[in-house]
Every structure is written in C-alpha cells, then in structure tokens.
A and B are shown apart, each in its own frame.
Chain A
Amino acid sequence: MLAVTNLTKTYGDFTAVNNISFEVQKGEIFGFLGPNGAGKTSTINMMIGLARPTAGEILINGIDVTKQTKKAQSIMGIVADESNLYNEMDGFDNLCFCAALYGMEKSEREPKARHLLEEFRLKDAGKRPFKAYSKGMKRKLTIAAALIHSPQILFLDEPTTGIDVESSRQIRKLIVALKEQGTTVFLTTHYIEEAERICNRIAFIANGEIVASGTASELMDSVSHAHIIRFVTSKSAENITAELKNNFKGSKVAVQGDNTLIMESEDRISLLPVMDFLNDKGIDVYEAKELRPSLEDVFVKLTGIESSVLKKDEKKGGRK
C-alpha cells in the first residue's frame, strides 16, 4: 500500500530524514515512534505532499506522491497533529465542506456526514460550532473529516495527544475498527503503550533514521533472547545461589532484596524443578513470573534515547 524507498530530506546542512525505507501493507496499522525532532513530521509531510523529498521515492498504491501528488492525495485521509477544522462552522458543515473538497456531491456528502457524526458519537454536537467542542470531540471530528471520502490510507499524526482518557480510548477503538474495515493506517505517536496496543508493526525513528522496525514481539526479541523468571520467595535465597547455578546449568542467578530471586537462561526455564529445589531448601515460592523487556526498554536500548524524553514530549502536548 505504502512503499518508502531511500527517502531523504535536508534543510540546508541539516538532515531531517536520512535515507529511510519501509513498507506498509494494506489493512495494517503502522506506528511511527520517535521523540521530537526525530524526523516524524518531515517524513509524514513528504508522504502527504506537503514537503518535497530531497531524494528517494514514495509510492502509495503504486502512485508516486512526488510526481502525482493530487492523485495520491485523493486516496489519502490526513489528520494533522492539531484539530484544524473551521471554528466558525458546525460539525456537520465542517464534514460536508471537507467532502466537497474531494468533489463529493451534496446528495452523497450529507448522508455520509450524518453517518460519521453518529459513528463518532457526535450526533448531538453536529449543529454546534467547532469552537465549542471539547479537545476530545475536536479530535474525533477531525478524524471523521479525514474519513469522509473513504480514503484507502489514513495518516494520523499524534491522534490522542492532549485529550482525555475516555476520548483516547474511543479513538483507539475507532482506529482498530478502521483497520478491520480494510483501511491502512499510518500513525505517529509519542505513546509507546498506544503503539504497542494497536499497531501491527512499529518503526522507531531517531535522528532521521529508522533504527528498528517490526511487530512489537519482534522488536522485543531483537534486544533480548534470554528467558528471565522472577520468583517471589518466603525468605532470601542468597545462601543457595551457587547451588542453584550448579543444579540449573546455563542459568544466571541473582537475588534482589530479601525475597526476590531472578533466574536468566538462554533456554526456557522449567518452573517445577526450581520450585522443588527451593522447597527442599525450606524456601516457599509465592509467585513466579516471566519478565520480558517492554517496548519502552526496547526503544531505549535501540535509540539510546531515554523514554523520559518521550514522556516530556507527551507533557508538552506533542509537537506543534
């Protein structure tokens, strides 16, 4: 659906996007994750035709965005990082106006606008001016406006930044529903959890380069192949760590605090023998849990950027 090849964007001496390539398959949600200044906006602007690539190629459904920008834009839905509809117009008129920009006839656009207002639970607000909407409602109407012409691919720039939890949940549900209806979604976000929860595949971008991409599991596996089990015990296992290592060859053993034992191995660890061993030593096991690196850990490890940087971006309400 979307194929980006060797895409580069420079502004004078500064390279905003450095030779990136990726593909997005039809009907998938592709997450683009990175901190401010990583190159997300430059990339998305090139894909939607608001910026010209310095080098490289962008194909959307086989259409070269740089050469046939308007043709490509006719199959795109675009949601900017700000809710940029017209304040003076009501919700219904905003949707109808956006439909008209895509050449939709009145007989076609009005029923579609009503349908979208209903689907996005904005029916009652349809006749209220956009400026009177809450942030969450504005965001939902902006997404509805991007869908009015039934685009094949939807570009969502920070769709849930700065809005309340309930609206964020609704928007995430809508994005997943869109995917189920066959719409391809390209999503940029600061929220690692959001990307992990709804994206089929994710790309991490830092300093204009894609440092990793894949499914959340693939990304997690890429940084650690080890299996780690954390045992919560009745008392410290400090004195028996050497015996544990001898009995369970190839395992690393570490004790944390008075009642936590961590075992790490390249192979999967069978729980029962460990629990029997500990039991024989007079140590009860209350809890055993496999520890996997979170997507946040993966992001930090691969980009070298502390996740607190992303969180600071979130607090600022995202890029403007």
Chain B
Amino acid sequence: MKSLIAFWNILKKDIKNYYLKPPNISWGIIFPLSWSLMQLIRSPGKNILELLPGLIAMSVLFGTTSMLAVTITFERSSRSFERLMLAPISLNVMLLAKIAGTIIFGMFNAFVPIAFASFFIDLKGVNFGIILPAVFMIALSSALMGLLIAVSAKQVFEAQTFSNFFRFPMLFLCGLFIPISDLPVFLRPISYCWPLTYGADILKAAITGVNIFSPILSFCMLLFFSVALFLISRHNINRKWVL
C-alpha cells in the first residue's frame, strides 16, 4: 500500500510538473501533426493508411525517449531526484512510476496522427485492439531507452544528444520508410536489433495488414527488449548512482 501511494504520487507529480506544461502539450500535439502534414504533402498520391504506422511510431518514439531522459537528468542536476533515491520505496517502484508518466505522454502523442487521419480516411478497417497494446509496448520500450540514456547523461543537453544518437538510426532502419528487404545486406541484422522494428511491424499489421513477423513474435520481442532495457538501466543506476 505504501509503495502504491508513492507510485501514484510520483506519477501525479511528473504529469503535473512536466507533461501538462504548455510547452510539452504543444510539443505533443504540434510535433506529430507536423510529421503527419509533412508526410502527406511529400507523398500526395500515397495512401494515408500506409503512412499511419510510421507517423504513430515516430510520434511515440520522439515523445518518450527524450522526455524521460530529460526529466530524469533535470531532476538529477537539481538534486531533487535524490529524494526519490532516498525514499523507502524499491528502485523498481520508483522507476516504474517515472516510466508510467512517459508512457501516458507517448500514447497521447500516438493518437494525434490517428485523430488527424480520421478527418481524411475511414479508419473502420484499422484494428485498434492491436494498435493500443502495440503503442503501449512501443512507448514502454522507447521510455526505457530514455531511461538508459538518462543513466549515461549528466546534463540535459547530453540527454537530448544521446536520444538523437539512438532515434535517427532506429527510424531509418526499422522498416518504416525503407522496407528492411530493400536495405543493404550488412544493415539488415542491425534492423532486427531495434525494438521499433517490431513495434512498427505490429502497427503495419493492424493498419495495412502487411507485416513481416507474426504479431505474437513482435510483442514477445518488444517485451524482451523492455525487460532487458529495464534490467540494464536498473543495474547501471545501482552502479553509477549509488556509489
């Protein structure tokens, strides 16, 4: 019960202090909207449904990775993060509370392009029963990547730089814009090492029905990446932040 109280209050504090701030709300709306418009203008003849998985995945990815990395690095630099480290709650509970806020923010970002697309096309054929857990899993794995970045970064600008270091290669290698089969042979194994590859594939399955992997395999891979990233981050926190 005590852990639940702490979890809920950390989550509430993060949402109020960071995610509900006007710059972040506008980022959460304007950024996915700009991507959507950009893609539509650039590919006028292209079916919006084909663009939708990429837009959703990008919105989640950009909304989550830097957000968690920046908020944690910011709290560490002001030393308020020490309060969480010194509270009598387990590291798992504390990290899950921090991640939960980012996941909610990422999921909110994901539904901006969907809402936008609904003005132009009929989304009846889209399987939202798969999209919702897929967006959740993409947000979870991306947030955990942000956590891994936060453990390595000392300054907020470092967190942002590291985030881009991961995000851009992942975006171009995950099969969203260039099918994996069209990539040079030596790059293909790298594609399979990114969680977004599997997340994007589930989204494609749910929206266009065209996918490489079985959605079950993709969900399992996302779960595997999430667990691995969480364990590595927790290990690094214990090693680097508890000296």
Inter-chain contacts of A73 with B (CB < 8 A): 86-88
8 Å CB interface, A4-52 against B: 11, 45, 48-52
In the complex, what residue of chain A is closest to B94 when comparing beta carbons?
A101
Query: Does B2 have its Cβ within 8 Å of any Cβ on chain A?
Result: yes
Inter-chain contacts of B82 with A (CB < 8 A): 50, 80, 84
Q: Establish whether residues A103 and B78, one from each chain, have CB atoms under 8 Å apart when the complex forms.
A: no
Known A71-B88, A82-B79, A84-B78; contact A100-B5, beta-carbon cutoff 8 A: yes
In the complex, what residue of chain B is closest to A101 when comparing beta carbons?
B87
B contacts with A: majority SS: helix
Q: Establish whether residues B1 and A50, one from each chain, have CB atoms under 8 Å apart when the complex forms.
A: no
Inter-chain contacts of B243 with A (CB < 8 A): 11, 45, 50-52
Q: Establish whether residues B17 and A88, one from each chain, have CB atoms under 8 Å apart when the complex forms.
A: yes
State the Cβ distance, B239 to closest chain A Cβ, in Å. 10
In the complex, what residue of chain A is closest to B87 when comparing beta carbons?
A101
State the Cβ distance, B243 to closest chain A Cβ, in Å. 4
Q: Establish whether residues A97 and B13, one from each chain, have CB atoms under 8 Å apart when the complex forms.
A: yes
Q: Establish whether residues B9 and A86, one from each chain, have CB atoms under 8 Å apart when the complex forms.
A: no
State the Cβ distance, A23 to closest chain B Cβ, in Å. 23
Most chain A Cβ neighbours within 10 Å, of B9, B78, B84, B88: B88
Q: How far is the CA of A82 from the CA of B78 in the complex (A)?
A: 9
Q: Establish whether residues A86 and B13, one from each chain, have CB atoms under 8 Å apart when the complex forms.
A: yes
| A-B interface pairs (CB < 8 A), number | 69
Q: How large is the interface on A (under 10, 10 to 19, 20 to 34, 35 or more residues)?
A: 20 to 34
Interface mask (A64-88 → B, CB under 8 Å = 1, otherwise 0): 0000001101101010101011111
Query: Does A277 have its Cβ within 8 Å of any Cβ on chain B?
Result: no
Inter-chain contacts of B40 with A (CB < 8 A): none
Q: How far is the CA of A190 from the CA of B87 in the complex (A)?
A: 27
State the Cβ distance, B74 to closest chain A Cβ, in Å. 10
From A11, A97, A102, give the contact of B2 (CB < 8 A): A102
Inter-chain contacts of A52 with B (CB < 8 A): 242-243
Known A48-B86, A74-B88; contact A103-B79, beta-carbon cutoff 8 A: no
Inter-chain contacts of A76 with B (CB < 8 A): 86
Q: How far is the CA of A89 from the CA of B83 in the complex (A)?
A: 15
Q: Establish whether residues B5 and A103, one from each chain, have CB atoms under 8 Å apart when the complex forms.
A: yes
Q: Establish whether residues B242 and A101, one from each chain, have CB atoms under 8 Å apart when the complex forms.
A: no
Known A48-B86, A70-B89, A73-B87; contact A105-B79, beta-carbon cutoff 8 A: no
State the Cβ distance, B101 to closest chain A Cβ, in Å. 14
Q: Establish whether residues A101 and B9, one from each chain, have CB atoms under 8 Å apart when the complex forms.
A: yes
Query: Does A98 have its Cβ within 8 Å of any Cβ on chain B?
Result: yes
From B5, B80, B86, give the contact of A78 (CB < 8 A): B86
From A50, A71, A100, give the contact of B86 (CB < 8 A): A50
Q: How far is the CA of A103 from the CA of B87 in the complex (A)?
A: 9
Query: Does A125 have its Cβ within 8 Å of any Cβ on chain B?
Result: no
Q: Establish whether residues B1 and A103, one from each chain, have CB atoms under 8 Å apart when the complex forms.
A: yes
Query: Does B114 have its Cβ within 8 Å of any Cβ on chain A?
Result: no
In the complex, what residue of chain B is closest to A85 when comparing beta carbons?
B80
Query: Does B85 have its Cβ within 8 Å of any Cβ on chain A?
Result: yes
Known A50-B86, A70-B88, A102-B87; contact A89-B13, beta-carbon cutoff 8 A: yes
Q: Establish whether residues A100 and B88, one from each chain, have CB atoms under 8 Å apart when the complex forms.
A: no
Interface mask (B62-97 → A, CB under 8 Å = 1, otherwise 0): 000000000000000011101111111110000000
Most chain B Cβ neighbours within 10 Å, of A49, A78, A97: A97
Q: Establish whether residues A84 and B79, one from each chain, have CB atoms under 8 Å apart when the complex forms.
A: yes
Q: Establish whether residues B1 and A86, one from each chain, have CB atoms under 8 Å apart when the complex forms.
A: no
Query: Does A104 have its Cβ within 8 Å of any Cβ on chain B?
Result: yes
Query: Does B117 have its Cβ within 8 Å of any Cβ on chain A?
Result: no
Q: How far is the CA of A57 from the CA of B105 in the complex (A)?
A: 44
Q: Establish whether residues A70 and B2, one from each chain, have CB atoms under 8 Å apart when the complex forms.
A: no
Inter-chain contacts of B49 with A (CB < 8 A): none
In the complex, what residue of chain A is closest to B79 when comparing beta carbons?
A84
State the Cβ distance, A132 to closest chain B Cβ, in Å. 16
30 residue pairs A–B, Cβ–Cβ below 8 Å: A11-B243, A50-B85, A50-B242, A51-B243, A70-B89, A73-B87, A73-B88, A74-B88, A76-B86, A80-B82, A82-B79, A84-B78, A84-B79, A84-B80, A85-B83, A86-B80, A98-B83, A100-B5, A100-B9, A101-B83, A101-B84, A102-B2, A102-B6, A102-B88, A103-B1, A103-B2, A103-B3, A103-B5, A103-B88, A105-B5
Closest 6 CB pairs of A and B: A103-B2, A100-B9, A74-B88, A101-B87, A84-B79, A51-B243
